[in-house]
């Protein structure tokens, strides 16, 4: 009987730790297409993609690319495609970046002309629920990029998939927990 109680305690402890990490999402920038120069006449592709996802503090975004780079820059550097003083730089082909605070993050490619061709994205990160204005006022129009006129047909909702996977994980763990308590 004591062994069964100890096993339950260990299981519950492991599940609590596992569930506590389930809230952070892992989102691939650009979905299946990854981080590359957008097709012609679709220079707002990444901002459209970002508008379809919800980013929160603690989420990790992945940039997968070949012969390219990714930079976090200031708003001014983003608007001018200026690569000279990045806040963050990576060119390893598989960059992970944790969104560690609420607000706007500006990402651009560091390769010549790629940013000018539309390889850039603004990601708006939401803070905890208590950061939301109780008046329900909408954010500044300058903060949110406008959607493109025609969305890319090959777009994949990788952020949505990550959230469904995390939710399923929590439900599964909760179900196992209830079963152990019953038996």
Per-domain residue ranges for the chain? Answer: 25-165
- pLDDT at position 99 is 95
Q: Grade residue 108 by pLDDT with cuts at 50, 70 and 90.
A: very high
pLDDT, tens digit (0-9, with 9 covering 90-100), for 3-50: 667 667 677 666 665 555 445 688 999 888 899 999 887 889 999 999
R_g of the chain, CA atoms, integer Å: 20
β-bridge partners, 72 = 88, 107
pLDDT, tens digit (0-9, with 9 covering 90-100), for 69-98: 999 999 999 999 999 999 999 999 999 999
Residue 91 token pair: 């060119």
Quote the distance between the C-alpha of residue 167 and its chain's center. 16
Q: Which residues contact 80 (CB under 8 A, 6 or more apart)?
A: none
User: Helix or strand or coil: residue 56?
Assistant: strand
User: Tokens 């399923």 label which residue?
Assistant: 168
- pLDDT at position 156 is 37
User: Helix or strand or coil: residue 40?
Assistant: coil
β-bridge partners, 89 = 71
CATH of domain 25-165: 2.60.40.420
Q: How far apart are CA 169 and CA 176, in angstroms?
A: 11
DSSP 129: G
């Amino acid at each position: 009987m004591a062994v069964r109680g100890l096993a339950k305690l260990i299981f519950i402890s492991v599940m609590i730790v596992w569930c506590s990490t389930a809230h952070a999402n892992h989102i691939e920038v650009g979905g299946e297409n990854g981080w590359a120069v957008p097709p012609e006449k679709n220079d707002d592709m990444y901002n459209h993609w970002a508008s379809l996802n919800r980013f929160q503090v603690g989420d990790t975004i992945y940039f997968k690319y070949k012969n390219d780079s990714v930079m976090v820059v200031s708003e001014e550097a983003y608007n001018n495609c200026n690569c000279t003083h990045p806040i963050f730089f990576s060119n390893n082909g598989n960059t992970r970046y944790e969104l560690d605070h609420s607000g706007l993050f500006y990402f651009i490619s560091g390769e010549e002309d790629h940013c000018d061709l539309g390889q850039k994205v603004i990601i708006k990160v939401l803070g905890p629920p208590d950061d939301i204005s109780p008046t329900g006022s909408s954010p500044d129009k300058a903060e949110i990029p406008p959607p493109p006129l025609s969305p890319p047909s090959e777009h994949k909702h990788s952020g949505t998939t990550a959230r469904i996977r995390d939710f399923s994980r929590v439900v599964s763990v909760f179900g196992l927990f209830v079963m152990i308590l019953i038996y």
